Amino acid sequence: MKRALFFGLTTLDIQYYSDEFPEANVKVKTDPPEFFVGGPATNAAVAYAALNGEANLLAAIGESPFRSLFIDDFRSTGVSCLDLLKDQQVQPVLATVITSSGGQRTIFTHNPRKLAVSFDEKKLFDEHRPELLMLDGFYPEVAGRLAKEAKSRQIPVVFDGGSWKPHLPELLPFVDVPFAPMISIRPIAELPKLFLRFLINFQLPIRPSPGEQIQFW
């Protein structure tokens, strides 16, 4: 398989399992939570490594009491992590996930802070020689630079975003293979026209909301 570079959000997911979601002002005792490393690009890197692909993940983790959980997870899944915030004290992006016995889940999380880092994308591409770049739309100040560099080298850019983000009109022109699950979150009428045209030009499936029949344009 091709050497791939993944960039985007990396989270620490704290997973609780409960028979039902608690009512207000109720304390629920569960089994001890499980800890997972997550995030769209991160999950893609793990899946790619599981398929015997060479997965290099450019992430923003930094130094914190949770760092060993990230490093151990990447080591066990065969993902090579390149930390943009190495040696910087930062709080990682946390997500608390509550899953009911029926499989329904509720997630509490927060958006990452803006990345203020100095790095050389040309050197990065020269050293790791990726044949594929995958982005999830987070950290636009870095994602745009990576996409432009990949495009200049004729390296395919894959985009898989979970929700519409204001900077996507600037990023999408550099994308070769888009996945768009964010369509299921917002009604078609509310989608920015640029993104709709983008989907239509590529004859991509559009799902207005969960459970409805997939429509094509």
Are residues 39 and 81 both part of a single domain?
Answer: yes
Are residues 212 and 111 both part of a single domain?
Answer: no
| pLDDT value of position 67 | 95
For residue 122, being part of any structural domain is answered with: yes
For residue 109, being part of any structural domain is answered with: yes
Chain segment 150-173, per-residue pLDDT in tens: 999 999 999 987 677 778 778 888
Phi, psi of 100 (to 5 degrees): -85, 170
pLDDT at 9 over 80: yes
Domain that holds residue 25: 3-166
For residue 173, being part of any structural domain is answered with: no
Are residues 7 and 64 both part of a single domain?
Answer: yes
Are residues 141 and 193 both part of a single domain?
Answer: no
DSSP letter for each residue of 128-179: H--SEEEE-S--HHHHHHHHHHHHHTT--EEEE-SS--TTHHHHGGG-SEEE
pLDDT at 212 over 70: no
| pLDDT value of position 184 | 44
| pLDDT value of position 139 | 93
Report the half-sphere exposure of 127 (CA within 13 A, side-chain side).
8
Counting residues of the chain whose pLDDT is more than 90, the rounded percentage is: 53
Question: How far apart are the C-alpha atoms of 20 and 128, rounded to whole Å?
Answer: 46
pLDDT at 200 over 80: no
Are residues 188 and 125 both part of a single domain?
Answer: no
Binned at pLDDT 50, 70 and 90, residue 179 comes out as confident
pLDDT at 10 over 90: yes
Phi, psi of 132 (to 5 degrees): -155, 140
Question: How far apart are the C-alpha atoms of 57 and 1, rounded to whole Å?
Answer: 16
Chain segment 117-155, per-residue pLDDT in tens: 888 999 999 999 999 999 998 999 999 999 999 999 999
Are residues 66 and 113 both part of a single domain?
Answer: yes
- The whole-model pTM stands at 0.82
Are residues 34 and 140 both part of a single domain?
Answer: yes
CATH code of the domain covering residue 96: 3.40.1190.20
For residue 136, being part of any structural domain is answered with: yes
Phi, psi of 150 (to 5 degrees): -65, -40
pLDDT at 113 over 70: yes
Range with top average pLDDT, 24-28, 50-54, 90-94, 181-185: 50-54
Task: Domain count for the chain, please give it.
Answer: 2
Binned at pLDDT 50, 70 and 90, residue 217 comes out as very low
Are residues 158 and 103 both part of a single domain?
Answer: yes
| pLDDT value of position 62 | 93
Are residues 153 and 191 both part of a single domain?
Answer: no
| pLDDT value of position 102 | 78
User: Which 8-state DSSP code applies to residue 181?
Assistant: G
Overall average pLDDT of the 171-194 stretch: 63
For residue 161, being part of any structural domain is answered with: yes
Are residues 159 and 187 both part of a single domain?
Answer: no
Overall average pLDDT of the 18-38 stretch: 87
Are residues 184 and 159 both part of a single domain?
Answer: no
For residue 171, being part of any structural domain is answered with: no
| pLDDT value of position 151 | 96
Compute, in degrees rounded to 10, the torsion defined by CA atoms 165, 166, 167, 172. 60
Which of residues 104 and 40 earns the better pLDDT score?
Answer: 40
Are residues 134 and 207 both part of a single domain?
Answer: no
For residue 175, being part of any structural domain is answered with: no
For residue 42, being part of any structural domain is answered with: yes
